[in-house]
Amino acid sequence: MRAPASLLVAGVLLAACATQPAPESAPEPASSSLARRVGTMSELMVDILYPAGDAVFYIETRTPTNSEEWALVQMQTLMIAEVANLLMMPGRARDQDQWMRDAELMLDAGEAAYRAAKDRDVAAMVALNDQLYVSCLTCHEHYRPGYGR
């Protein structure tokens, strides 16, 4: 039996919001003292971001046909934007310069995809394919040694 989309949204967002504090050597902002990182970077990418990105990348071949399917696409596009926010949090951000700019590219693409999904605008989501792809590619080129070789 499949869980309703709203239950999936709540579960994924609760899991995604848990982050681990920065190492003891780095000062930690008081506001993040309750945050703990649960998943690894690889788990965020493979378990959350890749499947969520597929909602955008394959929107033409997997076009939602009813309200429940559109709710799932909205959840997936929201997860793209929120994973970008997770990547910018203390303890995850590799630096405050290039990493933040790369994560913001994903945030922008995810936010635009979420708005398009809420509007059920397939054409707008298709138009966002390149923007989302470039956000992934840019970060991988900067932070995954040997990527694309």
Q: What's residue 23's pLDDT?
A: 42
Q: What range defines the domain where residue 93 resides?
A: 40-143
CA distance 142 to 129: 20
CA distance 51 to 95: 26
**Kind and range of the H or E run holding 41:** helix 41-43
**How confident is the prediction along the chain (149 residues), in pLDDT tens digits per residue?**
455 554 444 444 434 444 444 444 444 454 555 667 888 999 999 999 999 999 999 999 999 999 999 999 999 999 999 999 999 998 899 999 999 999 999 999 999 999 999 999 999 999 999 999 999 999 999 999 888 77
- In a domain, residue 80? The reply is yes
- In a domain, residue 139? The reply is yes
- In a domain, residue 71? The reply is yes
> ∠ CA 59-60-62 to the nearest 5 degrees?
60
User: What CA–CA distances, in Å, run from 100 to 8, 15, 21, 29, 90?
Assistant: 28, 22, 18, 17, 11
> Any idea what the CATH number is for the domain that residue 47 is in?
1.20.120
Residue 78 burial (CB < 10 Å; 0-12/13-18/19+)? buried
Q: What's residue 96's pLDDT?
A: 95
- In a domain, residue 70? The reply is yes
| Residue 37 DSSP SS3 | strand
Q: What's residue 14's pLDDT?
A: 39
Q: What's residue 15's pLDDT?
A: 43
CA distance 121 to 144: 33
The structure's pTM equals: 0.76
